[in-house]
Amino acid sequence: MNLSLDNLEKLLTTRDPVLVEDLFAEACRVRDEVYGRKVFMRGLIEVTSHCKNNCLYCGLRRDMHCTRYRLTKEQILQCCRTGHELGFRTFVMQGGEDAWMTDERVCDIVRSVKREFPDCAVTLSLGERGRESFARLKDAGADRYLLRHETADAAHYARLHPSEMRFEHRMQCLRDLRELGFQTGCGFMVGSPGQTLETLKKDLQFIAEFRPEMVGIGPFIPASGTPFEHEPAGSVELTLRLLAIIRVMHPRVLLPATSALGTLHPQGRERAIRAGANVVMPNLSPQDTRSLYSIYNNKLATGSEAAESAADIRARMKAIGMEVPTERGDFIG
Ligand code: SAH
Ligand code: SF4
């Protein structure tokens, strides 16, 4: 399939449904060639809602007056126990940039999880840190790190973040993670305020060059109380096309059907799988903290139990002819 810059523009903007279907079919074909018809499950554990940053789009930004929480190590282990029982073999610990999450604390949590679940992968998504810090987390046993670049265009980055947050630093973090041997994930929101076809092309170019092991993309969804609360949500259709393009460009990438897609469309995650995605991330966080981790409005499955959301997503994947194996689902290099 032709993925030259000119053709990318056409694929992103065309109104021809046949062209779009061809793109999705090609994406599934290349995915199946590498990974088979498998969707890998990751258990998401939202470990802290405290954040020192003030990203303009996010419902957990520093300036939001909201109830904040941190999970204890024991609570996190309990989530993993539930998850392991349900067949999860990857745990993703995500949170705001929380100074309380010192290297010592995170390393202790990672070691405890790896000790109790040696057959599982640990993914961290705790925002930007220094190279030394990332190195310690790696030594403690963390396998993967998700840090969306948010946009590959410096001017656009500056529109989404306060000036104390630096585009260059975020990109440096990604390079450090890669060099330290993490399976590294970047990604961006689709339809974030100020995003254009040009900035999207830069995102795709960045992914083509960086060749991350994972790419997380989902539509932007406005969050009440943030500077972007009245901005329109991103497009589901455009997100699906971008997923498919990323798959075709980089056949081996692990590509989640994000909850943000599921939030905007009742069949959003199924449609993402049909566009070439191969990962789902049901929530394993304790029931009472889910609604407090409100990155955007109407977040999916707030309040439902881990077992329930895992069973729901399994059934959805099987209904569209995909297997959901009990395995770590590492990047195939
Ligand atoms: N603090 C960490 C991880 C938690 S935020 C970090 O920022 O990397 C995880 C992701 O949620 C962010 O990377 C961002 O892309 C996404 N996100 C934040 N606000 C959002 C919104 N309003 N709509 C959709 N996605 C959002
Ligand atoms: Fe904090 Fe991440 Fe939200 Fe930014 S996107 S405010 S770093 S939780």
Cα–Cα distance between 1 and 132 in angstroms, integer?
41
Cα–Cα distance between 105 and 88 in angstroms, integer?
23
Cβ pair 166, 137 in contact under 8 A = no
pLDDT score for 302: 59
**In degrees rounded to 5, what are phi and psi of residue 189?**
-90, 145
Q: What are the structural domains of the chain? A: 5-319 (3.20.20.70)
- What is the tens place of the pLDDT at every residue in 180-197? 999 999 999 999 999 999
Question: Given a cut of 90, is residue 71 above it in pLDDT?
Answer: yes
Q: Among 46, 58, 63, name the best residue to mutate to test ligand 2's pocket (greatest count of ligand atoms within 8 A of Cβ).
A: 58
For residue 23, the SS3 value is helix
Cα–Cα distance between 271 and 14 in angstroms, integer?
18
Cα–Cα distance between 236 and 58 in angstroms, integer?
19
Q: Are strands 90-95 and 40-41 parallel, antiparallel or unpaired?
A: unpaired
Within 13 Å, how many C-alpha atoms sit on residue 305's CB side? 5
Tokens for 70? 């941190």
Q: Among 235, 295, 296, 299, name the best residue to mutate to test ligand 1's pocket (greatest count of ligand atoms within 8 A of Cβ).
A: 295
pTM here?
A: 0.97
- What is the tens place of the pLDDT at every residue in 308-330? 888 999 999 999 999 999 999 99
**In degrees rounded to 5, what are phi and psi of residue 254?**
-90, 125
Kindly report the number of other CB atoms within 10 A of residue 182's CB atom: 22
Q: Which atom of ligand 2 is nearest to the CA of 54?
A: 6
For residue 124, the SS3 value is strand
Question: Given a cut of 70, is residue 288 above it in pLDDT?
Answer: yes
Cβ pair 128, 172 in contact under 8 A = no
Q: What is the mean pLDDT of residues 5-23?
A: 94
- What is the tens place of the pLDDT at every residue in 216-272? 999 999 999 999 999 999 999 999 999 999 999 999 999 999 999 999 999 999 999
Q: Among 97, 150, 258, name the best residue to mutate to test ligand 2's pocket (greatest count of ligand atoms within 8 A of Cβ).
A: 97
Tokens for 267? 């069949």
Ligand 2 within 6 A of CB of 147: no
Cα–Cα distance between 41 and 310 in angstroms, integer?
9
Ligand nearest to the CA of 54: 2
Cα of 6 from ligand 1 centre, angstroms: 30
Q: Which atom of ligand 1 is nearest to the CA of 216?
A: 15
**In degrees rounded to 5, what are phi and psi of residue 289?**
-100, -10
Ligand nearest to the CA of 148: 1
DSSP state letter for 233: P
DSSP state letter for 147: -
Kindly report the number of other CB atoms within 10 A of residue 31's CB atom: 25
Ligand 2 within 6 A of CB of 55: yes
Q: What is the mean pLDDT of residues 164-193?
A: 98
